[in-house]
Structure 1
């Protein structure tokens, strides 16, 4: 370990202590997260100034930083499957209107998939407006390496038709899926949990005492899992600091400048889609500004952490503060992790497909291509993971279904983390929007709670 590495580690420790001191002074979670984001960007940039991006000093320092950053991500991944499973099952045990469960589920899924189709159309439009083409991107070593990685990943779905890919979502061995062994493991766990929930409702009618005992067990497990999540969320500022430092320090700033057009186009589409969410709420007779104010903490967390799954507890809590019943909030939050992610499964694959189509001799302006792409994007939005990599998997499915070269999906690797922050926040917003609108349609939304400005949402329990 060189002296430069020791100095870099010492600076990181000092910054971590600053965040710890802010926590001891009870500075709000949101402020600490954004402070960590800013410090990480600043520290990473300073490392860029004093060292070369691929220098040994940076690479060795980043290895130590990864203990915090990658460790935080691994903790999130650790809790994803238990969190998704227990949230779905508890949604059934807490749902008061068992007779409306089919309607509620259909509405949530319909809104999620419908908004994803809209996001796909928006992604296509954005690609045309900004004149985005894969041929405009210069392929470097990072892009080539990413292309090879995607080719290997593609081997798991290559040659499978869309019906076969849909069949893959059904859990043949739910215990295997709890390990996350398959790309579609998350949606398989959701399906398994839904079957248990439906079985619970049947037992509740015939053997209420057994159902009551089961519900108490689920409530206990739910409380414990959520407590684990809370402990992990408290590590967020420290994880964000390390992740952003690593990201900025090891990024090719010249490549980011070169790809600035794609970053701007992506965020333009993300902002427009978020405005569509607000428009849908307005059409439902709700004040969109109230939604923005109450949703800001969870959206900022999703933005900085880049994980929809990690944002699930805050997602559900925010929906309840917006007047959504407990059961519907759990349904919308959990389904939104794996189905109809507007950013990762809607905008991103559609934009990539339009960019890549000309390289395969396909006219992206063809009405048949556009219509097929929107349908494929909507269908393939099932099973997208809620922690890093979901957008890539969604893109692989869409590109392979459209017979487009999947290796070119790695062309944006240099700016992927930057774009993914906005995409993740949009995913969470789409999930919450589906819960709010569903509650509104079934007349279960507490409008007084929705409009109550005194309610304050924080990440800590």
Structure 2
């Protein structure tokens, strides 16, 4: 009986996937198909919750097969992520006219990412205060205790390292190892290595024109091939979103969500406020937030469901280009945003945890000195946060250890971590895109016609085949 029920669950997902394929054949827009997949995945997940226990063998076995479509899609994007980060940064240098522009673009992008992360930290503190969150109110079970112990063991070396040592460790000693994603900070290591190659190219361009031209052609050719691979993978987005969302909802512990509902609500209130701040920044620059929402929806929806801003990088860069951001700036903003100044993971989340945990050691989290120190630590610790699932935990460990707060208490929220991580990731991606738009606006090279053009959306990638 269980076998037939498992087959029925898998078949239900396949039927919805077939509908999405039919929508594609009818040339319905990419955004509509992603939204349909998102809604259908949520609905299907809740239906499965009604009939089956999330830990039942039927759901476990069925979701393993569904994972071929969902997890497989994410793994394909992760496969191309490191090569894309490397070649995107390198290509950005070859398409910059003057060497002085590199420093200006990098400074503006990183500056915007850090400032918005500090603001996000302040928003997280405020939300935690308004909802009166406290670690004492959370019930500790065996899963939470195991997670806390695991975090203490895994990050013991991080806690032992001084801040200067942590900064030095961001510098890659073996860039080829970082290209495999071997370290938590591998993404930033690849960015640094590619940046050094790019700076070297600018020096060669001044003295050896022919060599520079050949290098530019080779780099451009590799970039074109990588982006072609990206295009092929992105066509699978609606199916990936459907599978990921179905699995997430069907396997979620709704009881834990209810028990820790206040933290979930406080988190999404804070993340919503940060996202509104992103829109206000655009409005302040004289740009339409509505137009941004229209074009950014597919990548934000994917980031929300996949919980990995690294896998969303290809869509991130393409969306920025559709919004009128020059390719070089889009490459910088998207790549830097993977490991620097993630508004959700490195800003909101560590600040809320610090507010909750501080009273357990007799620290008043509303003291001005504590708040100032916390925001400073958040800004510094936001460098090197991994742009994959678990990056928020890494950021929280860095912040809590720097503030001398108990690390193990961060494991109390394990049961609702996936649900919160969805919103955090979407805000991370939005922050990097806004940084790219802001930089282009300040440099006066933002294409306003492209920004306003409704026809220039990520949907158009499919017609470029």
Contact 2:89/2:198, CA 8 A, preserved across alignment = yes
- Alpha-carbon distance in 2 for matches of 1:440, 1:305: 30
Structure 2 residue 337 is matched with structure 1 residue 307:
no
- Alpha-carbon distance in 1 for matches of 2:53, 2:298: 36
What's the counterpart of residue 297 of structure 2? 296
Per-residue CA distance 1:98-152 (angstroms, 9 max, x = gap): 3222122111111111111111111111111111111222223432333233233
Q: CA RMSD in A?
A: 1.9
Structure 1 residues 69 and 293: alpha-carbon distance in aligned structure 2, compared to 1, 3 A threshold: closer
Contact 1:291/1:322, CA 8 A, preserved across alignment = yes
Structure 1 residues 63 and 98: alpha-carbon distance in aligned structure 2, compared to 1, 3 A threshold: same
TM-score (normalised: structure 2): 0.94
Structure 2 residue 174 is matched with structure 1 residue 173:
yes
Structure 1 residues 460 and 449: alpha-carbon distance in aligned structure 2, compared to 1, 3 A threshold: closer
Structure 1 residues 441 and 235: alpha-carbon distance in aligned structure 2, compared to 1, 3 A threshold: same
- Alpha-carbon distance in 2 for matches of 1:43, 1:290: 30
TM-score (normalised: structure 1): 0.95
SS at match of 1:413: helix
What's the counterpart of residue 185 of structure 2? 184
Unaligned runs of 5+ in 2: none
- Alpha-carbon distance in 2 for matches of 1:60, 1:82: 33
- Alpha-carbon distance in 2 for matches of 1:19, 1:392: 35
Contact 1:143/1:410, CA 8 A, preserved across alignment = yes
CA shift, 1:241, in A, is: 2.1
CA shift, 1:454, in A, is: 4.6
SS at match of 1:460: helix
Structure 1 residues 67 and 452: alpha-carbon distance in aligned structure 2, compared to 1, 3 A threshold: closer
What's the counterpart of residue 335 of structure 1? 336
Alignment of 1:105-116 (within 5 A): 105-116=106-117
User: Which moves more between the two structures, 339-348 or 35-44?
Assistant: 35-44
Per-residue CA distance 1:288-327 (angstroms, 9 max, x = gap): 3333333233323322332222222222222223222221
Alignment of 1:10-29 (within 5 A): 10-29=11-30
- Alpha-carbon distance in 2 for matches of 1:349, 1:24: 44
CA shift, 1:430, in A, is: 1.1
Structure 1 residues 39 and 148: alpha-carbon distance in aligned structure 2, compared to 1, 3 A threshold: farther
- Alpha-carbon distance in 2 for matches of 1:24, 1:141: 49
What's the counterpart of residue 345 of structure 2? 344
What's the counterpart of residue 70 of structure 1? 71
Contact 1:348/1:391, CA 8 A, preserved across alignment = yes
Contact 1:116/1:342, CA 8 A, preserved across alignment = yes
What's the counterpart of residue 215 of structure 1? 216
Contact 2:70/2:244, CA 8 A, preserved across alignment = yes
SS at match of 1:337: coil
- Alpha-carbon distance in 1 for matches of 2:277, 2:424: 15
Contact 1:30/1:300, CA 8 A, preserved across alignment = no
- Alpha-carbon distance in 1 for matches of 2:182, 2:214: 32
What's the counterpart of residue 362 of structure 2? 361
What's the counterpart of residue 229 of structure 1? 230
What's the counterpart of residue 318 of structure 2? 317
Structure 1 residues 51 and 279: alpha-carbon distance in aligned structure 2, compared to 1, 3 A threshold: closer
| Number of residue pairs the alignment of both structures matches | 461
- Alpha-carbon distance in 2 for matches of 1:55, 1:367: 49
Alignment of 1:373-392 (within 5 A): 373-392=374-393
- Alpha-carbon distance in 1 for matches of 2:89, 2:200: 13
